[in-house]
C-alpha cells in the first residue's frame, strides 16, 4: 500500500489538486479539515469524481457540537510544539529508547549517550 500525506491543506485549489490525483490513482481520500466549508467542498468533489473518501474529523465535530452545545471555531489552531530539529531529536531519542528497552537490542548500546541499569519494571525508561 502506498500512501501520500498532504499537510497544511487550507485552500480549495490545493484540495482540488489532491482529489484529482486521488482520482487518477484510484485512491481512497481521507481528510481532517477543521474548516466546515472546505470539508463540505471536499466531500462534494470526491462524490462528483467517484473518489471514495473518509472524513475523519467531521462526524466527531458534529457529535461534539451537539453534546457541548457549542460551535467549533472552524479553523486550525497553531501547534504548541515547534517542529524544529530539537523536536525531531526528542522523537528520535524516544524511538531509540523503545527499541533498546529491556536489552531488546544490545547492538544499539554503542549509540547510547547514557545507559541506565536497574531492576526490571522500575521505570527506567
Taking only the tens of pLDDT, the chain with its 125 residues reads: 888 989 888 899 999 999 999 999 999 999 998 888 999 999 999 999 999 999 998 999 889 999 999 988 777 766 666 778 888 888 888 888 888 887 788 888 888 888 888 777 777 66
CA distance 43 to 29: 10
Query: pTM of this prediction?
Result: 0.59
- 74-95 residues labelled b (16+ CB within 10 A) or e (exposed): eeeeeeeeeeeeeeeeeeeeee
**pLDDT score, position 125:** 61
Residue 33 makes CB contacts below 8 A (sequence gap 6+) with: 9, 39, 42, 55, 57, 58
**pLDDT score, position 66:** 92
Which residue has cell 474529523? Answer: 57
- Ramachandran region of residue 36, left (φ > 0), alpha (ψ -120 to 50) or beta? alpha
Amino acid at each position: 500500500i502506498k500512501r501520500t500525506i498532504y499537510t497544511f491543506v487550507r485552500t480549495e485549489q490545493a484540495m482540488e489538486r489532491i482529489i484529482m490525483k486521488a482520482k487518477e490513482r484510484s485512491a481512497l481520500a481521507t481528510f481532517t479539515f477543521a474548516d466546515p466549508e472546505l470539508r463540505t467542498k471536499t466531500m462534494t468533489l470526491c462524490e462528483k469524481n467517484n473518489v471514495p473518501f473518509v472524513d475523519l474529523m467531521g462526524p466527531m465535530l458534529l457529535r461534539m457540537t451537539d453534546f457541548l452545545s457549542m460551535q467549533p471555531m472552524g479553523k486550525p489552531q497553531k501547534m504548541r510544539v515547534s517542529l524544529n530539529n530539537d523536536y525531531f531529536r526528542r522523537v528520535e531519542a524516544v524511538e531509540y529508547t523503545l527499541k533498546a528497552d529491556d536489552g531488546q537490542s544490545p547492538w544499539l548500546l554503542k549509540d547510547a549517550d547514557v545507559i541506565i541499569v536497574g531492576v526490571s519494571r522500575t521505570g527506567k525508561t
